[in-house]
Structure 1
Amino acid sequence: MKIQGKMFLWLSVFVLIMTVVYGVWSKEVAGTTALALTFGLTAMIGYYLAFTAKRVDEMAQDNKEADIADEAGELGFFSPHSWQPLALALGGALAFMGVIFGWWLMYFSAPVIVIGLWGWVYEYYRGENQNQ
């Protein structure tokens, strides 16, 4: 976290310099205000990360000798045989085509989306995948 804190603090310094340069050269209020707000946000994030880095243990990104796998954790469980994402993609494609061709197509896409979502949520509560 120390690295990210330093990066955001240096970014905030850069944005502050660019805010002053842009404000002097362009004399435009909206862009100067947007850059000033960007400076404030990057400074807040940098301060938070630097402050938090002092309170937590050293992480792998703070160690120059660390490997990529040192911070790797469990990614989670992904269903290997699920057909439900295909149904959701088909329903989503129909829904977006409904925006293009006419809203009446939503009447056909909504049931496909609901059935795909229902099947995906309750996939491991029925059939051969049912937990016992």
Structure 2
Amino acid sequence: MKIQGKMFIWLSVFILAVAILYGVWSKEPVGTTALFLAFGLSIMIGYYLAFTAKRVDAMAQDNKEADVADEAGEVGFFAPHSWQPLSLAVGGALAFLAVAMGWWILYFSAPLILVGLFGWVFEFYRGENQNQ
């Protein structure tokens, strides 16, 4: 994590320099504001990663002599399969179509979005993936 924190802090320094140069040369407020906001986001992420790296053990990417296999092991738990993202995608596509074609399409997209959202949140509380 130390490496990632340093990378984001150096990235934020670069973005700040670009924002200042862009603001002076272009005198365009929207792009300058966007670059300063990107600087703020980058410095927040870099500070968080650097702060968190002090509280956790050193990871393999912090060791210059580490191999790829040093970080091997269990990554986490992942759902085996789920149909809920399909429902959310179809509902979201219909919702965006409603903006272009007519708001009445939201009557069809809202139930799909709600079913997909609730199904995805609660999929481990019922059915074959239920936690014991």
TM-score range, shorter chain: 0.5 to 0.7
Shift of residue 62, structure 1, vs aligned partner: 0.5
The residue number in structure 1 matching 2:79 is: 78
In structure 2, distance between residues paired with 1:98 and 1:21:
42
Q: How does 1:91-110 map to 2 (within 5 A)?
A: 91-110=91-110
In structure 1, distance between residues paired with 2:7 and 2:69:
19
The residue number in structure 1 matching 2:63 is: 63
Unmatched 5+ residue regions in structure 2?
Answer: none
In structure 1, distance between residues paired with 2:129 and 2:28:
61
The residue number in structure 1 matching 2:53 is: 53
Aligned partner letter, 1:91? G
The residue number in structure 2 matching 1:28 is: 27
Shift of residue 49, structure 1, vs aligned partner: 3.9
In structure 2, distance between residues paired with 1:38 and 1:130:
40
Shift of residue 77, structure 1, vs aligned partner: 3.0
TM-score scaled to structure 2, two decimals?
0.61
In structure 2, distance between residues paired with 1:107 and 1:20:
48
In structure 1, distance between residues paired with 2:129 and 2:14:
56
TM-score scaled to structure 1, two decimals?
0.61
Shift of residue 19, structure 1, vs aligned partner: 5.0
1:107 to 1:71, Cα distance in 2 relative to 1, 3 A? same
Contact 2:23 2:32 in 1 (8 A): yes
Q: CA RMSD in A?
A: 3.7
Whichever of the two has the greater Rg, that structure is 1
Q: How many residues align?
A: 128
Deviates more, 1:93-102 or 1:60-69: 60-69
Contact 1:60 1:71 in 2 (8 A): no
Aligned partner letter, 1:110? A
Shift of residue 101, structure 1, vs aligned partner: 0.6
User: Secondary structure of the equivalent of 1:74?
Assistant: coil
In structure 1, distance between residues paired with 2:26 and 2:92:
46
In structure 2, distance between residues paired with 1:117 and 1:51:
34
